[in-house]
Structure 1
Amino acid sequence: MTQPDARLEITPDEYRQRRERLCLLLQAQGLDAVCVFAPVRVAYLSGFFFSATERPIALIVTASGEVAALLPRLEVSHYELQGPGGTLLEVYAEYPGGGSGRHPMRHLQDLLTRLGLQDRRVAADVDGYEHRWGYRGPALSEVLGRPVPSALALIDDLRAVKSSAEIALMREACRWGDHAHRLMQDGLHVGAQELLVSHAASLQATEDLLGTLGGRYVPKSREGMPANAMFIRGANTAHPHGLHQAGPVQRGDVLVTGAYGIIGGYESELERTMIVGDPGPDVARYFGAMLTAQQVAFGALRPGRTCAEVEADVRRFIRDELGMDGLVRHHTGHAFGLEGHEHPFLDLDDHSVIVPGMVFSVEPGLYVPDVAGFRHSDTVVVTATGNERLSLYPRDLASLTVPVPG
C-alpha cells in the first residue's frame, strides 16, 4: 500500500522488473538486445524522462540484462539523476558532430561494439532516431549494415497492462483532471472566452495540486502543467479535434470539453459535452443518444473480449438502435498511460484481447455537421470482472448545463 507521504512516481524496483520482463521476451524471440529510441519507451524502461530534441538518445537492453545508453553530453548528469545505476554510457559532444566529424549514430555503432553486439541479433523499437527538430541521420540498419528486427510490440505490449502503481498514479491524475474541469465549469458564462477560462482553470487547478501534494508531486516534463482543462464551442465541436476560435461563449452553445491530470508522467482523460442555457429538443436528443452509446461501451468492455468486439457492440447500437451511424467519426476509444494515445485501440480492426490492468478512454462520439459534436470521454481501468471508471465527473445533462440568467 502506498505511504501517504510517498513520492508519486514509479520506483526504481519497478523499472528493474520491467527490464527483466523485457529480457525474458528477448530470450524467447532469440534476440540478443534491443535498441530503444522513442523517448516514452526509454522512460518506461529506465525512468529517464527527458526533453527530446535533435540530439539522438538511445537505450540498449541486452538479453542478459545489461543496460547501456547513447547520450549527448548535455544529458549525462540528467541521466545519472534518473536512470538506473551501472549503465554503460557512450557520450557524444553534440549534434550533428560538434566539430568531431562523427555523427551520433556512429557513436551508437561504437557502443554496440563495446557490448559485443556488432554481429549479434539486435532489434529496435524503430529503425533509428525519429526525425524531429531538423535531425537527419542514418537508420540503425544502415549503421549496422543489416536488417533490424522490430521490437516495438515487445515493449508496447508490456506497457498495455498497467501495474497497481501505474493505476494509482492514473487514479490521482483523474482526481486532478476532474478538479480542473470543475473549476472551468464554474468559470463558464455567456461572454466568456475559451482560452481565458481554460487557462485560468488550469492554473488554479495546478496551484491547488501543488499545494495539496507538496513534495509528493514529481514533475516529469519541462512543459505544460499537471492539471489542465479546455473547451471548444458551437458548430466547431462538430469537428472531433476542432481548434480554439475567437469570440465569446453564447447562449445555446454546445461545448465539448477536455481535462486531464499528469502524475508521475501518467495521464488521465476526461471529456464532457455541455450546453449553455436550456437545451433544445434536438440537442437533448443527441446528448441522450451519445450518453447511452457510452453506457453500452462501458458494458461491453470486459476481460476476455477483443477490442474489436467492444467496438462492434457500440457501432451496432448506434446503427441499429439509434439510426445515427452516419454521425460517427472515430472509434470508441484507445489505451493510454504515459502517452495520450497508446496501443491497443477499441477499433473494428484491433483484435487485441482485453485483460485486467488495461486502461482505456471510452468516448463514442456523434457529430452533427454545422450543428455540434456530442462526446463524453472517461478513463476506465479493466478489472477482473468488468471495468471501473476512474474519472468521476458527472455525466448527466442537468449537471452539464451552464445556467443563463433571465
Structure 2
Amino acid sequence: MTTPPERLQPLEITQQEHRERRARLSALLQARGLDAICVFGPTRVAYLSGFHFAATERPIALVITAQETSAALLPRLEELHFQQQSPEITDLELYAEYPGGGEGRHPMTVLRGLLARLGLLGKRLAADVDGYEHRWGYRGPPLSEALGQPVLADVALVDDLRMIKSAAEIELMRVACEWGDHAHRIMQDAIHIGADELLVSHGASLQATREMLQALGERYVPKSREGLPANAMFIRGANTAFPHGLHRQGSVQAGDVLVTGAYGTVGGYESELERTMHVGDPTPDFERYFAAMMAAQQKGFDALRPGRTCAEVETEVRAFIRDDLGLDQLVRHHTGHAFGMEGHEHPFLDLDDHTVIQPGMVFSIEPGLYVPGLAGFRHSDTLLVTETGSQLLSLYPRELAALCLPG
C-alpha cells in the first residue's frame, strides 16, 4: 500500500484541532447560558483534549468553561501521561488514588475542590453524565450530589460536536478503511476447509497489523493499550443468523455461510467492513437471500444524502425490504449508525432518529436479513456524506463471485 506524502504527518489529530474543539464547546456553553461543563466519558475527554487513557475505577474529568479555560481532574499516576498527550492543558487537580489512597478524600470531593477553586460552585454547570461511570468497582456519588446543586446532564453537548467530521478525521478514517480492507483480504485468503475461525481471525489480524506498522512507520501513533491496529474476524454456519453471533467450536466446512468483520484503527478513529461469504458453490436459497441483501444495501447507499433525516433513510430501506422484497420478517436491526472514535456513535439510521444528515457525517450502511436455521446475510460499508450524496470509504468487493471460497 502507498502512503501519499500529502497525508497527515503524523496520523493523529493535532493539538490545534483539539483547541478548536474546546473553543466550539465553550461557545455552545455561552449560547446555552451555562458557565462550565464537567466531561467524564473517556472518549469525550480524548476528543476534547487528545488524552487517550485506560479507563479504570479512577475518575478522570475535564472541566471546560464558557470563557475557554480548561482544567483536568486526574489520579496522580496519570499526571505525566496527561502532560505528554495534552500539553496545552496545564491546570491539573491531582488525587492520590481511588478511593482515597490514604488521604481520606474521595475523587469526587477533590473535583468539588477544583470547581470551587475555579469559582464555579453555585454557577450554572453541565456535565456529559452526572458523575463518573460505575466501572471496575468504582463507587461514588453523582456530581450533583457531590456539589449539592443541580447539574444539567446532557451527552449531546459534546456528542453533537462529534457528528460532523473534520478533514483530518476523515483522512484518518480513510486510512483505517484501507487497512481494514487489507486485513479482510488476508483473512479471506487464509480461510479453507478445516480452518479454525478463531485462529484464522487472530492470525490475519496480526499479519495485517505487522504490514500496517511497517508501511506507516513513525506516522502511525497508537492510541490504545488494547487491541490491534488492524483486525479481521468471522463467524460461520447457522450461527450467522444471530446478528451478533459468537465464535463456536469446530472448523470451516463446505457449504458454510460466513459473516465477516474487519476494521482498522488510526489516530483513534475506526473503519467498518462486513461481508457475507460462502464456502463452495452457493445454494439457490443462499443466492436469493444474498441478492436481496445486496439490493437492500444499495437502497441504503442511494438513500443516504444530506438534507434528509436518518429516519427517512431507514423508512426508505425498510419499505423496500417489506414491499419489494417481501422479507420484512427477517429484519433484526436498523440500517446503520454513525461512527468515528467509537464503533457506534450518534446518530442512527433508525425510524425514531430524526437527526438531519449533513456533509461530513460518516455512517455504516448494513441492512441485514436473518434466516433462522440457515444464515445471516449482511454487508457493512463505511460511507462519508458529501455535498450531494455519499462516498464509499471501504472499497472491498461486494459481489458474490468475489466472496465465494473454494469448497
TM range (shorter): over 0.9
SS in 2 for 1:271: strand
Task: Tell me which of 40, 48, 66 is aligned to 2:43.
Answer: 40
Structure 2 residue 393 is the aligned partner of structure 1 residue 370: no
Mapped to 2, the partners of 1:4 and 1:168 lie a distance apart of 8
Mapped to 2, the partners of 1:3 and 1:398 lie a distance apart of 36
Structure 2 residue 396 is the aligned partner of structure 1 residue 396: no
Mapped to 1, the partners of 2:242 and 2:406 lie a distance apart of 25
Contact 1:47–1:84 (Cα < 8 Å) also in 2: no
For residues 233 and 226 of structure 1, do their structure 2 counterparts lie closer, same or farther at Cα, with a shift above 3 Å needed?
A: same
Counterpart mapping for 1:61-210 below 5 A: 61-210=64-213
**Deviation by residue 1:174-207 (Cα, 9 ceiling, x = unmatched):** 0000000000000011100000100110000000
Mapped to 2, the partners of 1:113 and 1:8 lie a distance apart of 38
Contact 1:46–1:84 (Cα < 8 Å) also in 2: no
Which of 79-88 and 176-185 deviates more? 79-88
Task: Tell me which of 278, 281, 291 is aligned to 1:278.
Answer: 281
Mapped to 2, the partners of 1:296 and 1:334 lie a distance apart of 15
For residues 46 and 5 of structure 1, do their structure 2 counterparts lie closer, same or farther at Cα, with a shift above 3 Å needed?
A: closer
Contact 1:238–1:369 (Cα < 8 Å) also in 2: yes
Which of 345-354 and 96-105 deviates more? 96-105
Mapped to 2, the partners of 1:115 and 1:379 lie a distance apart of 43
Aligned residue pairs: how many? 404
Instruction: Quote how far apart the aligned CAs of 1:386 are.
Output: 0.1
Contact 1:191–1:249 (Cα < 8 Å) also in 2: yes
SS in 2 for 1:272: strand
Q: Partner of 2:29 in structure 1? A: 26
SS in 2 for 1:111: helix
Contact 1:34–1:60 (Cα < 8 Å) also in 2: yes
Structure 2 residue 226 is the aligned partner of structure 1 residue 223: yes
Mapped to 2, the partners of 1:152 and 1:273 lie a distance apart of 35
Unaligned runs of 5+ in 2: none
Task: Tell me which of 284, 309, 319 is aligned to 2:322.
Answer: 319
Instruction: Quote how far apart the aligned CAs of 1:228 are.
Output: 0.3
Identity, % of aligned pairs? 72
Q: Partner of 2:346 in structure 1? A: 343
What is the identity, as a one-letter code, of the residue corresponding to 1:261? G
Mapped to 2, the partners of 1:97 and 1:375 lie a distance apart of 49
Instruction: Quote how far apart the aligned CAs of 1:216 are.
Output: 0.2
Instruction: Quote how far apart the aligned CAs of 1:144 are.
Output: 1.1
Q: Partner of 1:302 in structure 2? A: 305
Contact 1:169–1:263 (Cα < 8 Å) also in 2: yes
Which of 310-319 and 143-152 deviates more? 143-152
Mapped to 1, the partners of 2:293 and 2:162 lie a distance apart of 30
Mapped to 2, the partners of 1:228 and 1:237 lie a distance apart of 19
TM-score, reference length from structure 1? 0.98
Task: Tell me which of 4, 8, 18 is aligned to 2:11.
Answer: 8
What is the identity, as a one-letter code, of the residue corresponding to 1:247? G
**Deviation by residue 1:108-157 (Cα, 9 ceiling, x = unmatched):** 00000011001111100000000000000010000111221023112111
Instruction: Quote how far apart the aligned CAs of 1:28 are.
Output: 0.2
TM-score, reference length from structure 2? 0.98
Structure 2 residue 275 is the aligned partner of structure 1 residue 261: no
Mapped to 1, the partners of 2:24 and 2:96 lie a distance apart of 33
SS in 2 for 1:167: helix
SS in 2 for 1:228: strand
What is the identity, as a one-letter code, of the residue corresponding to 2:163? A
Instruction: Quote how far apart the aligned CAs of 1:2 are.
Output: 6.9
Mapped to 2, the partners of 1:2 and 1:322 lie a distance apart of 47
Mapped to 1, the partners of 2:150 and 2:400 lie a distance apart of 55
Mapped to 1, the partners of 2:169 and 2:181 lie a distance apart of 18
Counterpart mapping for 1:209-248 below 5 A: 209-248=212-251
What is the identity, as a one-letter code, of the residue corresponding to 2:276? T
Instruction: Quote how far apart the aligned CAs of 1:85 are.
Output: 1.8
Instruction: Quote how far apart the aligned CAs of 1:3 are.
Output: 3.6
Mapped to 1, the partners of 2:114 and 2:8 lie a distance apart of 40
**Deviation by residue 1:38-85 (Cα, 9 ceiling, x = unmatched):** 000000000000000000000000000110000000000000001142
Contact 2:8–2:168 (Cα < 8 Å) also in 1: no
Mapped to 2, the partners of 1:285 and 1:386 lie a distance apart of 29
What is the identity, as a one-letter code, of the residue corresponding to 1:81? Q
Mapped to 2, the partners of 1:118 and 1:5 lie a distance apart of 41
What is the identity, as a one-letter code, of the residue corresponding to 1:355? Q
Contact 1:34–1:151 (Cα < 8 Å) also in 2: no
Mapped to 1, the partners of 2:163 and 2:343 lie a distance apart of 13
For residues 6 and 158 of structure 1, do their structure 2 counterparts lie closer, same or farther at Cα, with a shift above 3 Å needed?
A: same
What is the identity, as a one-letter code, of the residue corresponding to 2:215? T
Which of 60-69 and 145-154 deviates more? 145-154
**Deviation by residue 1:330-357 (Cα, 9 ceiling, x = unmatched):** 0000000000000000000000000000
Instruction: Quote how far apart the aligned CAs of 1:86 are.
Output: 4.2
